[in-house]
């Protein structure tokens, strides 16, 4: 509707012939205004024709221009379950506020559940930009709990539990992934500038997916500026265990067109196959920072993924750590970070900086980096691995395998950044299978099990120091000497200890014989 007002303005005044100022009223049209509405859900019905039901409230909001609010006031204590029989399409900006249910104290009291005929619980469509879905539990869906499509940007998804139902009476956890549905997700994003925060997402295949299916032709649309922060992926609501929880594949999957998104800070991404997977040639410019990947919320205990981060299928130009702050990528059983994924393509020109890989957050204990802390493979090139702590791997801190023109420099490999040793099982850096022209300089090596750097005969042109970088050679030589001396001591000490014990025994016997002889004189 339009409002009108009368204004007496200095600019609209004029002086009379006699010199007195008079004000001339002027009629002006103001901008259009909508009165915002609040609709209250008062029952658990799934019937759109039942006043006070959730489908009714969504329908009312869609038909009322402006950003509306849907609150909850369902009688009764405990969790109220709303069983939907169809998708709730949101086509107008709305705040669906599960925290408004009386008694809410951080644990969702409204559980929205579907069935085998409901692919998506909330489908946020064009025209609904700036919507919020918060404070709900979402369970039993065959596709995504929430889908955000192009044309609905700037949405907020926060303070929800998605992919599981925790029975408040028995404590039993029911996972969406146990219902027989394949490839379900918590949140599918094909739009930009959305905020996903403070959610718990367990019991699905990929929890958050950004972009398009990389197996299909990319539309050319870019999905950027999404912020994923302060979420628990694959764990219980306190972020302390994945027992009875977990995701089948990824915490976050980045597909075609996912560019310039912010993954962090303070996500826990554990208990799945991968923490984060970049898997499309157009997945670029994304930043992963200040997360716990493979640990609990404290960063001190392992909740393993298989791999912490995989960058493959041509994904390039992404940052793991960097200026925004490093991640703790520890406790994973396979590889901490894959730049290139064997069988799934290369990952070029990525930057890995300032991360703790294999140690706990305080760098006081090794909780595991998997077989390799960082693996650069599958033809990947142009990657920079710099300023990381890489320790506690079973095999090598860094593996370069069929990888050329990468830079691995200035890392602590086999020790903490304060110099406390946490050896990688075999090597600091292993360069194999035609990995050519890589730069490996200025790293500080701890007591890695079999030495610092190994380069096999098929790998040529690698720069690990030359006359122009004598200090690096000296540093590596010192590390080799220290490693040799330590290994030598480890070999000698048991034998020396036994020898000294034998000498002491023999001396004791000689003394006893002398005393016996003297007693007979």
Could you read off the pLDDT of 143-161 as tens digits, one per residue? 999 999 999 999 999 999 9
Mean pLDDT, range 59-76, rounded to an integer: 97
Query: Residue 512 falls within a domain, yes or no?
Result: no
Supply 223's token pair: 């999905």
Q: How far is CA 283 from CA 5, 239, 317, 427, in A?
A: 52, 28, 8, 32
Q: Which pLDDT band holds residue 472 (cuts at 50, 70, 90)? A: very low
pLDDT at position 341 is 96
- How far is it, in rounded angstroms, from Cα 394 to Cα 366? 11
**Are residues 63 and 24 part of one domain?**
no
**Are residues 230 and 272 part of one domain?**
yes
Mean pLDDT, range 453-474, rounded to an integer: 71
**Are residues 338 and 227 part of one domain?**
yes
**Are residues 333 and 274 part of one domain?**
yes
Q: Which residue(s) pair with 189 in the sheet?
A: 148, 210
Q: Which helix (H) or strand (E) holds 505?
A: helix 470-519
Q: Which residues contact 482 (CB under 8 A, 6 or more apart)?
A: 447
**Are residues 262 and 175 part of one domain?**
yes
* 350-381: b (≥16 Cβ within 10 Å) or e: bbbbbbbbbbbbebeebbbbbbbbbbbbbbbb
Could you read off the pLDDT of 211-231 as tens digits, one per residue? 999 999 999 999 999 999 999
Pairing of strands 173-175, 164-166: antiparallel
* 278-293: b (≥16 Cβ within 10 Å) or e: bbbebbbebbbbbbbb
Half-sphere exposure of 266 (CA within 13 A, CB side): 8
Query: Residue 416 falls within a domain, yes or no?
Result: no
Query: Residue 333 falls within a domain, yes or no?
Result: yes
**Are residues 122 and 9 part of one domain?**
no
DSSP assignment letter at 25: -
Task: Kindly report the CATH number assigned to the domain that includes residue 220.
Answer: 2.160.20
**Are residues 210 and 89 part of one domain?**
yes
**Are residues 258 and 166 part of one domain?**
yes
pLDDT at position 36 is 85
Question: What is the share, in percent, of the chain residues with pLDDT greater than 90?
Answer: 82
Residue 338 has pLDDT above 50, yes or no: yes
Domain boundary among 337, 369, 404: 404
Q: Where are the beta strands (DSSP E) in 287-438?
A: 287-288, 292-293, 307-312, 319-321, 328-329, 335-339, 351-353, 356-357, 372-377, 384-386, 389-390, 396-401, 407-409, 412-413, 427-432
Q: Which pLDDT band holds residue 516 (cuts at 50, 70, 90)? A: low
Query: Residue 453 falls within a domain, yes or no?
Result: no
**Are residues 42 and 27 part of one domain?**
no
Domain boundary among 354, 374, 404: 404
Query: Residue 477 falls within a domain, yes or no?
Result: no
Supply 486's token pair: 């330590």
- How far is it, in rounded angstroms, from Cα 91 to Cα 223? 20
Range of the domain at 3: 1-31
Place of tokens 């040639």: 281
Domain boundary among 373, 404, 435: 404
**Are residues 161 and 215 part of one domain?**
yes
**Are residues 400 and 281 part of one domain?**
yes
Q: Report yes or no: 229 and 267 within 8 Å, Cβ to Cβ.
A: yes
**Are residues 6 and 71 part of one domain?**
no
Could you read off the pLDDT of 269-313 as tens digits, one per residue? 999 999 999 999 999 999 999 999 999 999 999 999 999 999 999
Query: Residue 413 falls within a domain, yes or no?
Result: no
Number of compact structural domains in the chain: 2
Query: Residue 127 falls within a domain, yes or no?
Result: yes
Could you read off the pLDDT of 431-441 as tens digits, one per residue? 999 999 999 99
pLDDT at position 28 is 56
Could you read off the pLDDT of 344-373 as tens digits, one per residue? 999 999 999 999 999 999 999 999 999 999
C-alpha of 475 from chain center: 35
Query: Residue 114 falls within a domain, yes or no?
Result: yes
């Amino acid at each position: 509707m339009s409002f009108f007002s009368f204004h007496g303005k200095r600019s609209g005044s004029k002086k009379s012939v006699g010199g007195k100022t008079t004000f001339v009223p002027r009629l002006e049209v103001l901008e259009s205004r909508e009165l915002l509405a609040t609709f209250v859900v008062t029952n658990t019905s799934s019937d759109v024709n039942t006043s006070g039901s959730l489908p009714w409230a969504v329908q009312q909001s869609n038909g009322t221009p402006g950003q509306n609010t849907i609150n909850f006031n369902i009688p009764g204590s405990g969790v109220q379950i709303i069983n939907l029989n169809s998708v709730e399409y949101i086509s107008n900006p709305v705040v669906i506020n599960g925290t408004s249910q009386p008694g809410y104290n951080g644990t969702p009291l409204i559980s929205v559940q579907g069935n085998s005929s409901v692919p998506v619980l909330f489908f946020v469509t064009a025209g609904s930009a700036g919507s919020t879905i918060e404070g709900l539990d979402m369970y039993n869906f065959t596709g995504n709990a929430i889908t955000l499509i192009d044309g609905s940007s700037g949405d907020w998804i926060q303070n929800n539990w998605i992919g599981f139902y925790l029975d408040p009476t028995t404590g039993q956890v029911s996972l969406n992934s146990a219902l027989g549905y394949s490839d379900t997700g918590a949140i599918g994003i094909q739009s930009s500038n959305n905020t996903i925060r403070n959610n718990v997402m367990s019991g699905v295949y990929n929890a958050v997916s950004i972009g398009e299916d990389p197996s299909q032709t990319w539309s050319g649309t870019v999905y950027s500026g999404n912020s994923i922060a302060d979420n628990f992926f694959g764990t219980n609501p306190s972020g302390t265990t994945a027992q009875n929880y977990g995701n089948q594949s990824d915490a976050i999957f980045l597909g075609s067109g996912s560019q310039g998104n912010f993954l962090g800070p303070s996500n826990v991404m554990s208990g799945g196959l991968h923490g984060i997977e970049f898997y499309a040639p157009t997945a670029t410019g994304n930043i992963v920072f200040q997360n716990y990947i493979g640990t609990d919320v404290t960063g001190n205990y392992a909740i393993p993924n298989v791999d912490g981060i995989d960058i493959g299928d041509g994904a390039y130009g992404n940052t793991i750590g960097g200026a925004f702050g490093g991640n703790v990528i520890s406790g994973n059983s396979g590889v901490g970070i894959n730049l290139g994924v064997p069988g799934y393509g290369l990952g070029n020109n990525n930057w890995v900086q300032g991360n703790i890989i294999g140690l706990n957050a305080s760098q006081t204990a090794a909780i595991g980096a998997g077989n390799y802390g960082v693996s650069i493979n599958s033809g990947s090139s142009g990657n920079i691995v710099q300023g990381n702590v890489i320790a506690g791997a079973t095999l090598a801190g860094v593996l370069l395998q069929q990888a050329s023109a990468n830079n691995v420099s200035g890392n602590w490999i086999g020790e903490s950044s304060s110099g406390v040793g946490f050896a990688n099982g075999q090597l600091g850096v292993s360069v194999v299978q035609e990995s050519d022209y890589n730069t490996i300089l200025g790293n500080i090596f701890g007591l890695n099990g079999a030495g610092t750097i190994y380069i096999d005969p098929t790998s040529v042109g690698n720069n690990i120091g030359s006359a122009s970088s004598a200090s690096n050679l000296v540093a590596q030589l010192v590390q080799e000497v220290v490693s040799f001396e330590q290994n030598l001591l480890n070999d000698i000490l048991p034998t020396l200890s036994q020898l000294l014990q034998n000498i002491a025994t023999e001396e004791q016997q000689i003394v006893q014989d002398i005393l016996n002889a003297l007693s007979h004189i």
